[in-house]
Amino acid sequence: MSDIEPTYSDEPTRVRRLVAEFFSGQSGADVGADGLAVDLVAGADAKDDCAVYDIKEPVSLVVGSDYVRGPKFVLYEMGLLTGFDIGYYVVAANVSDVAAMGATPIGVLTVVRYPSELDDAGFRQVIAGIHQACTDFGVLNVGGDIGNAERVVLSATALGICRPGKALMRKGARPGDLLCVTGVCGVLGAAVAYFPRQEAEGWTLPAATEERLLNAWKSPRARVAEGRILAREPYATACQDTSDGLKATIDQIMAAASVGFRVVEQNVPIDPAVRAVAELMGVEPLALSMSASSDFQLAFTLPPEHLDACRAEFASAGLDFHVIGEAIEECRVESVNAVGVTRALPGVAWRHQTSDISLLATGSEAG
């Protein structure tokens, strides 16, 4: 246990001493990609009210904003996640939205609100997590707002660019398109289903499985490279990240495109940790993998004639994706099992419920 007495600096001191070190050397950076000329003329290190970009040719500007709230804080409040982890998460969540549009992130603005009992070391942890995520995703934190609140509240806005007309939308799916996903879903939701009820239910999982569940929250990856590949040709006719859970994502693409989807159950990748939690909960692994979660995979639709070329380009970048179904004309979502039995797609979609997220996969609380 440390003998160092915690310090509680005021906001200007925290900005000057604890935040400035993460902002150095931004101004003058070339933040463009794919041949697009964009320079950050004045970054957070300039200490002006706003960041300034020079955009030297026609581009589409993609902007998304989200904040961390409610049940997404439960593991932090239990002491299983640190300030660094939630700082990292808020950047990943916002960059993921830009990635789902097929854009390259060029900047992140963050809002950090904190209670008076958060000392300087705890505050620095949050800022360090934000900085590390920006570094990992190749983007700069160009400013925002810092101040007091009754609890920790984190928000961000991500800025991205792409060539005009290349942004990926949800509405472009057509009957016959393949339904694809870049990886396993439901791991973060499984963690929130498991840890808050572990003691009360007497649940036990191997240490490696518990570590897998927590690490999914600690190091979520926004699929920037995947989104850029899907938009460049373009390959994808529709795309969205799975931050509300895979079932909710499929529902939302269906609503935007006015098509339905048939999911082939045995083609859906399911993480072993999700299977383990589903067994404890007494629910289908497929249902838990589809239900409310905070994964940042990309779900997208792809014309069959582009499958081989798209898969080859993914492979050349060390990436992969799974074909899990196809778009159909009727506006409904169904699944088919290995023996051809069709049913409604299992799981519970996230709809900003006020209930405990751990109940959603069972359908016992969907209000």
Identify the pLDDT of residue 364.
45
Q: Rounded to whole angstroms, what are the CA distances from 17 to 8, 164, 173, 265, 341?
A: 12, 41, 50, 53, 62
Residue found by looking up tokens 């994706």 in the block = 321
Q: How far is CA 210 from the centre of its chain?
A: 20
Identify the pLDDT of residue 355.
46
Return the HEC string of 33-68. CCCCCEEEEECHHHCCCCCEEEECCCCEEEEEEEEE
C-beta separation of 165 from 60 below 8 A: yes
pTM here is 0.89
C-beta separation of 321 from 182 below 8 A: yes
Identify the pLDDT of residue 320.
97
pLDDT tens for the chain, 367 residues: list them: 556 788 888 777 877 777 777 877 778 788 877 778 888 887 778 776 677 888 888 889 999 998 876 545 789 989 999 999 999 999 999 999 999 999 999 999 999 999 999 999 999 999 999 999 999 999 999 989 999 988 889 999 999 999 888 899 999 999 999 999 999 999 999 999 999 999 999 999 999 999 999 999 998 999 999 999 999 888 999 999 999 899 999 999 999 999 999 999 999 999 999 999 999 999 999 999 999 888 999 999 999 999 999 999 999 999 999 999 999 999 999 999 989 999 999 988 765 554 445 555 555 444 3
For 108, which DSSP code? E
CATH code linked to domain 178-362: 3.90.650.10
Closest CA to 48 of 157, 142, 181: 142
The DSSP-derived string for 251-317 is HHHHHHHT-EEEEEGGGS---HHHHHHHHHHTS-HHHHHHSS-----EEEEE-GGGHHHHHHHHHHT
Alpha carbons 273 and 264: distance in angstroms, whole number: 21
Identify the pLDDT of residue 361.
53
The domain limits of the chain are 11-162, 178-362
Identify the pLDDT of residue 31.
81
Closest CA to 209 of 154, 163, 278: 278
CATH code linked to domain 11-162: 3.30.1330.10
Identify the pLDDT of residue 224.
95
Identify the pLDDT of residue 16.
77
